[in-house]
Amino acid sequence: MLDDTAAIPLSALDGEATQAVIDRPVDPLTIRALVDNAAQPISPFWPLRSFIACNPLSGFESLSFDEAIQHGQAWFNAQGYPSRAVGQAALRENKIGQRPLRHTVETQVRSLSATLTVHGRTLKTVDITHAFLISAPINASTSNTPDINSVSKTQCLQETLAADLERLTIKWIAAFLDEGQAVWSMPNRELGFYRAWKSLVAFDDHLLRLLDDQVRQQLAKLPDKPERAIADNLQALSIPADQQEDYLARHLTALPGWTGFIKWRSSQKNHIWQARYPISLTDFLAVRLTIERCLVEAAACRAQADTTPITRLLTQPSKAASQPLVSADERTAFHRVIGRLAGLAESDLAMLSSTEQEQMEALLRAILAVEGRIWLEAWEETFRASLLHEIAGNVSTLAIDSERARPAAQLVFCIDVRSEPFRRQLESLGAYETLGFAGFFGIPVHYTPFGTADGVASCPVLLQPKHWVTEIPKADQQSQADRHLKGLSLTKSLKTLLVSLKQNLAAPFALVETAGGVFGLLMAARTLAPLALHRFQQAIKALIIPPVALQTTIALPASLNDVADVPEHSQACGHITGLSADEQVFYAEASLRMMGLVNNFGALVVLCGHGGMTVNNPYAAGLDCGACGGNHGGPNARIMASVYNDRRVRAVLRERGIDIPDDTVFLAAEHNTTTDEVAIYNSADAPVSHAEHLNRLKADLETVRQKTCAERCQKFGQFGLSDQDARAHAQHRALDWAQVRPEWGLARNGAFIVGPRTLTQSMNLDSRCFLHSYDWQVDPQGKALEIILTAPLVVAEWINTQYYFSTVDNVHYGSGSKITHNVTGKIGVMQGNASDLMTGLPQQSLTVREGELYHEPLRLMAVVYAPLSRVAEIIARNTILRHFFDNGWVALTVIDPSSGRMLRYRKGKVWEDFLDDKSGDTGEHPAKKSSLTSESHEDLQAMLGVQPSTTANHPTSVS
DSSP letters for 673-701: TTT--EEES-GGGS-GGGHHHHHHHHHHH
Confidence (pLDDT) at 310: 54
669 φ, ψ (degrees, to nearest 5): -145, 170
d(CA 374, CA 384): 15
Mean of pLDDT values over 389-413: 82
The answer to whether residue 144 scores a pLDDT higher than 60 is no
CB 368: neighbour CB atoms within 10 A? 21
Banded model confidence at residue 403, pLDDT cuts 50, 70, 90? low
Confidence (pLDDT) at 554: 86
CB 297: neighbour CB atoms within 10 A? 21
Considering Cα of 901, then 906, then 909, then 910, what sign does the dihedral take? negative
639-691 pLDDT, tens digit each: 999 999 999 999 999 999 999 999 999 999 999 999 999 999 988 888 999 99
- Report the candidate in 852, 843, 878, 858 with the shortest Cα–Cα distance to residue 799: 858
Between CA 290 and CA 220, with CA 24 as vertex, the angle to 5 degrees is 30
d(CA 377, CA 888): 11
**For residue 852, what are the β-bridge partners?**
849
- Report the candidate in 27, 9, 28 with the shortest Cα–Cα distance to residue 18: 9
The answer to whether residue 311 scores a pLDDT higher than 70 is no
Between CA 477 and CA 484, with CA 483 as vertex, the angle to 5 degrees is 80
Banded model confidence at residue 307, pLDDT cuts 50, 70, 90? very low
Helices assigned H by DSSP within 791-850: 792-808
* Size of the chain in residues: 959
In 3-state terms, what secondary structure has residue 87? helix
Lowest model confidence (mean pLDDT) among 17-31, 204-218, 345-359, 581-595: 17-31
The answer to whether residue 185 scores a pLDDT higher than 60 is yes
Banded model confidence at residue 304, pLDDT cuts 50, 70, 90? low
Confidence (pLDDT) at 557: 65
The answer to whether residue 433 scores a pLDDT higher than 60 is yes
Confidence (pLDDT) at 572: 38
First to last CA, the chain: 46
Between CA 519 and CA 524, with CA 522 as vertex, the angle to 5 degrees is 110
**For residue 470, what are the β-bridge partners?**
448
Confidence (pLDDT) at 141: 46
The answer to whether residue 759 scores a pLDDT higher than 90 is yes
The kind and range of the H/E element at 425 are helix 419-427
Pick the most confident of 15-29, 279-293, 294-308. 279-293
Banded model confidence at residue 515, pLDDT cuts 50, 70, 90? confident
In sequence order, what E strands does 684-797 have? 751-755, 769-773
CB 574: neighbour CB atoms within 10 A? 7
Percent of the chain scoring above 70 in pLDDT: 86
Q: Strands 445-448, 467-473: parallel, antiparallel or unpaired by DSSP?
A: parallel
Mean of pLDDT values over 448-467: 87
CB 735 within 8 A of CB 749: no
Banded model confidence at residue 958, pLDDT cuts 50, 70, 90? very low
In sequence order, what E strands does 390-454 have? 409-413, 432-436, 445-448
The answer to whether residue 494 scores a pLDDT higher than 80 is yes
The mean predicted confidence, pLDDT, of the chain is: 86
The amino acid that residue 403 corresponds to is: E
850-901 pLDDT, tens digit each: 889 999 999 999 999 999 999 999 999 999 999 999 999 999 999 999 988 9
Mean of pLDDT values over 241-252: 94
Pick the most confident of 96-110, 137-151, 486-500. 96-110
Mean of pLDDT values over 414-433: 95
CB-based contacts of 555: which residues, under 8 Å, 6+ apart? 578, 579, 581, 584
d(CA 559, CA 549): 26
Question: From the centroid of its chain, how far is CA 260?
Answer: 13
CB-based contacts of 673: which residues, under 8 Å, 6+ apart? 416, 418, 419, 610, 611, 612, 623, 743
The answer to whether residue 148 scores a pLDDT higher than 60 is no
Confidence (pLDDT) at 384: 97
Mean of pLDDT values over 773-789: 95
Banded model confidence at residue 575, pLDDT cuts 50, 70, 90? low
The amino acid that residue 204 corresponds to is: D
CB-based contacts of 882: which residues, under 8 Å, 6+ apart? 875, 876
d(CA 703, CA 429): 9
In eight-state DSSP terms, residue 128 is H
CB 806 within 8 A of CB 813: yes
In 3-state terms, what secondary structure has residue 363? helix
Higher pLDDT, 452 or 725: 725
The answer to whether residue 947 scores a pLDDT higher than 90 is no
Banded model confidence at residue 932, pLDDT cuts 50, 70, 90? very low
Banded model confidence at residue 942, pLDDT cuts 50, 70, 90? very low
Mean of pLDDT values over 301-314: 56
CB-based contacts of 715: which residues, under 8 Å, 6+ apart? 744, 854
DSSP letters for 140-209: -----PPPGGG--HHHHHHHHHHHHHHHHHHHHHHHHH--S--SSPPTTGGG-HHHHHHHHGGG-HHHHH
Q: Which residues of 534-573 are buried (b: 16+ CB within 10 A; e: fewer)?
A: beeeeeeeeeebeebebbbbbebbeeeeeeeebbebbeeb
The answer to whether residue 18 scores a pLDDT higher than 90 is no
Mean of pLDDT values over 607-625: 95
Confidence (pLDDT) at 512: 77
Mean of pLDDT values over 180-206: 94
Considering Cα of 216, then 221, then 227, then 233, what sign does the dihedral take? negative
pTM attached to this predicted model: 0.90
Confidence (pLDDT) at 152: 63
Mean of pLDDT values over 469-478: 88
The answer to whether residue 105 scores a pLDDT higher than 90 is yes
Mean of pLDDT values over 458-469: 87
422 φ, ψ (degrees, to nearest 5): -65, -45
Confidence (pLDDT) at 7: 32
Banded model confidence at residue 299, pLDDT cuts 50, 70, 90? confident
Banded model confidence at residue 20, pLDDT cuts 50, 70, 90? very low
The answer to whether residue 806 scores a pLDDT higher than 60 is yes
d(CA 713, CA 729): 8
Higher pLDDT, 23 or 389: 389
Confidence (pLDDT) at 476: 87
521 φ, ψ (degrees, to nearest 5): -65, -40
Mean of pLDDT values over 336-359: 90
Q: Strands 860-865, 890-895: parallel, antiparallel or unpaired by DSSP?
A: parallel
Please list the helix, strand and coil fractions of the chain in percent, rounded to the nearest 5, in that order: 50, 10, 40
C-alpha distance from residue 703 to each of 482, 676, 710, 860, 873 (Å):
37, 10, 11, 32, 45
726-747 pLDDT, tens digit each: 999 999 999 999 999 999 999 9
Packing angle, helices 256-265 and 281-303, rounded to 10: 150
CB 577 within 8 A of CB 567: yes
The kind and range of the H/E element at 17 are none
Banded model confidence at residue 564, pLDDT cuts 50, 70, 90? very low
Confidence (pLDDT) at 74: 93
Cα dihedral 941/947/952/957 (nearest 10): -90
d(CA 297, CA 212): 9
Residue 336 burial class via C-beta count within 10 angstroms: exposed 0-12, middle 13-18, buried 19 and up: middle
Question: From the centroid of its chain, how far is CA 190?
Answer: 31
Confidence (pLDDT) at 24: 55
d(CA 603, CA 689): 10
24-77 pLDDT, tens digit each: 567 889 999 999 999 999 999 999 988 889 999 999 999 999 999 999 999 999
Banded model confidence at residue 323, pLDDT cuts 50, 70, 90? low
C-alpha distance from residue 742 to each of 98, 481, 679, 734, 818 (Å):
35, 33, 19, 5, 13
31-42 pLDDT, tens digit each: 999 999 999 999
The amino acid that residue 173 corresponds to is: I
d(CA 764, CA 869): 30
